[in-house]
Amino acid sequence: VIAFVLVQFLYFFTVSRLPLGLGTLLAVLAPVVVALWVRFGKKQPVSNRLWLAIALTLIGLGLVSQIWLGLRFDILGVLAGFALALALALYWLLGEAGQERRDGVSLTMWGFIFASATWAILQPWWSFPFSVLTEMSVPETTTFPALPIWGIMLWGVILGTVIPFLLVLGSLRRIGAQRAGIVATTEPLWAGLIAIFVLGEMLNWMQALGGCVVIAGVVLAETSRRISAEEEAGSLPSPV
């Protein structure tokens, strides 16, 4: 329910009250929450390189999203943004812990089952205006064709929901919640790159700089993982 209901609902609610850039930046505070939990909740050390990687990705994302444009303060939106970061962090942590007993595919399946049951109670599917599915979308640019609403929804369900959840849970098994969260902050960067080819948009020099900073943060996080693994291996007693 946390992963498949709260994260999506809180994200859309946050960006409805705040500018998209600020709402997204609040969402990606989740890696900070994860690192704080690992450090103070689980009493495990967090390397300085990882803290620096988190700082770089947040700064870079701020440059990419240009949060200062159209900035407005809405207390309800800000609170929802912080709640979103907490829910996203819980999703990563619970997903990492859940894979000790189940694989990512079964976790995703059960997550969607419980999410569907929850929304059937909160917002019954039979109250949805199904007539809008046959309508055509109104493209904002000439480079993007008009598509039927049902096609856009199907695209969002498969490529925007099912596949991302499978990939996230798969990454949690391999690199853990801390580094998976940092890598996840590159989402706005990829969105900007896709917009260049699909929507004909262009990144300015500041957004390009922010993208480089985000990539630097991800690389730093990955190198910190390798260094930690090497240090752990070096601390083991020699078999000779």
15 with 72: CB under 8 angstroms?
A: no
In a domain, 199, yes or no: yes
In a domain, 239, yes or no: no
Q: What's the total number of domains in the chain?
A: 1
At 221, list the tokens: 């996080």
Residue 236 pLDDT greater than 50, yes or no: no
pLDDT at 140: 62
Give tens-digit pLDDT for 197-213: 766 667 778 877 887 88
> Up-side HSE of residue 7: CA atoms within 13 Å toward CB?
20
Distance CA 119, CA 107 (A): 18
Distance CA 193, CA 202 (A): 8
Counting every residue written for the chain, the total comes to 240
At 60, list the tokens: 């870079």
Low-confidence winner among 21-25, 26-30, 225-229, 231-235 (lowest mean pLDDT): 231-235
Give tens-digit pLDDT for 132-178: 888 887 766 666 677 888 888 888 888 877 888 788 877 877 777 77
The residue range of the domain holding 78 is 2-234
Distance CA 171, CA 163 (A): 12
What average pLDDT is seen over the chain? Answer: 76
In a domain, 122, yes or no: yes
> Up-side HSE of residue 75: CA atoms within 13 Å toward CB?
0
Q: What is this structure's pTM?
A: 0.71
Give tens-digit pLDDT for 72-99: 667 888 888 889 888 888 888 887 777 7
Sorting pLDDT into bands at 50, 70 and 90, what band is 220? Answer: confident
In a domain, 48, yes or no: yes
Could you give the 3-state DSSP secondary structure of residue 148? Answer: strand
Sorting pLDDT into bands at 50, 70 and 90, what band is 234? Answer: very low
User: Which residue has better confidence, 1 or 117?
Assistant: 117
Residue type, 239: P
Among candidate residues 66, 88, 69, the one with its CA nearest the CA of residue 14: 88
pLDDT at 101: 76
Average of pLDDT values for 47-66? Answer: 79
In a domain, 240, yes or no: no
